[in-house]
Amino acid sequence: MAIWTRAVLVAGLVLLAAGCGTASRGTVTSGPAPHGKATSARAAAPATDLAHTSLLATSWLSDSRGWALATQRCAAGTCTRLARTTDAGRHWRVLPDPMAGIKVPAAECSAQPCVTQISFASPAVGYLYGSALLLITTDGGLTWHVQHGPQTEALTIAGGRVYRVTYTSTGCPGPCQPSLKVASPGSAKWRTLIGRLAEPGRSDSAEIVASGPDLMVAMYGSLAGPIPAQAVTYRSTDGGATWHQAADPCSGLGPGGPQQEEDLIGLTAAPGGFFAGLCAPHNITSTFVITSPDAGATWRRTGALPPNDQLGIVASASPATIAVASGMTGGNGRYTARLLVTTDGGKHWFTAATDTQRLTTNALDPATGSAPAWLGFESRLTGHWLADPHGIWTTTDGGRHWTRTAFP
């Protein structure tokens, strides 16, 4: 199972560009709710194919087994699509459409949940989540069950548990009363670990990463506007039994010195209690990487800065191998996403891959105007990068070389 990193969309840099408004199609069926809990969910008949789909996110359990969340133009406008692969993305099987839409800033998803992320804990148990309700599958994505309650902002799976940060209301920055919860995979019974997480000024996103029993939660501030965007972090070294709150680990470590505000915008973990963070000054003129060999107790800046200003996501396969890439973007015109890698702990960085595309906003197909941003390692050798809506980049040699496979 891919337990090391799941890059999320960066606070203040995210521009979602996909439609909301999936309609029920074909014969619908109902599946048993997890652990006997009553839910209101249905599964629609799958689309006939994945032609002209636009990727949003992927989830990988191994080098070869994975799931993809995408959008596709349909009679209802833009519809949610799911697919899975067992041969590293060479072939994809279309799954039944979940009863969920895709969130955009102007969309209202009161009639059904909207999702932007997918994460699987096992071949059977998986999660769809985003800016509304949480959906759970216990049959590999054939049927999905809506779990009512607070919205899920961030979710990770580690050590046989599922951790999530929840908000009590939409429209964050809040106050939105964020909390940290845990459950067994597939269970609808969530236990609260931290009843009230801190909310940085204009907080609008969160992230959870894990390395064995070592966990970190980051509550990000918004980089938009003059308000300070320092993150608040929480760390646990005992599998979530106890937690300790800490300040933004980027503070004071940037090239601008203590007088310049430096904000955490991305977080990742690798085996052995290793953590890495992506930092940016408040005006986002440049970025730098920090690392911690002791589960977040102490941090230092890497010896060299990644040679790119507009980076937004970070992932790590080991203390030596760290990757950073462009953040999610949208709009019109020619755009090049970049993937930078170090294999010596940050002493030297090289451009491992670039993905050039033309974004064209289309009212009938909003997904054509956005480029996704997802980066993760499934092992020390294998990782994946999403940089454009129609392809998946893969490395099988620890980040040194990457190849693109068209989706689907």
Is position 215 within any domain? yes
Q: CATH no. for residue 45?
A: 2.130.10.150
Question: DSSP states of 185-246 as a string?
Answer: TT-S--EEEESS----TT--EEEEEEETTEEEEEEEPP-SSSS----EEEEESSTTSS-EEE
What pLDDT score was predicted for residue 350? Answer: 95
Q: pLDDT per residue over 169-189, tens digit each? A: 765 666 688 999 999 999 999
Residue 11 within a domain: no
Give the residue-averaged pLDDT of 208-212: 96
Model confidence pLDDT, tens digit, residues 323-342: 999 887 666 788 899 999 99
Question: 12 lies in a domain?
Answer: no
Residue 84 is assigned to a structural domain of this protein: yes
In a domain, 7, yes or no: no
pLDDT in tens, 232-281: 999 999 999 999 999 999 999 988 777 788 999 999 999 999 999 999 88
Q: Which residue has the higher pLDDT, 176 or 202?
A: 176
Q: Judge whether 5 lies within some domain.
A: no
Predicted model pTM: 0.85
- Over residues 340-389, the pLDDT tens digits come to 999 999 999 999 999 998 876 654 444 555 667 899 999 999 999 999 88
For 406, phi and psi rounded to 5 degrees? -65, 145
Tens digits of residue pLDDT in 34-59: 433 433 344 444 556 788 888 889 99
Domain membership of residue 402 (yes or no) is yes
**Which two three-digit tokens encode residue 256?**
């601008």
Parent domain of 359: 34-406
Does residue 21 lie in a domain region? no
Domain count, the chain: 1
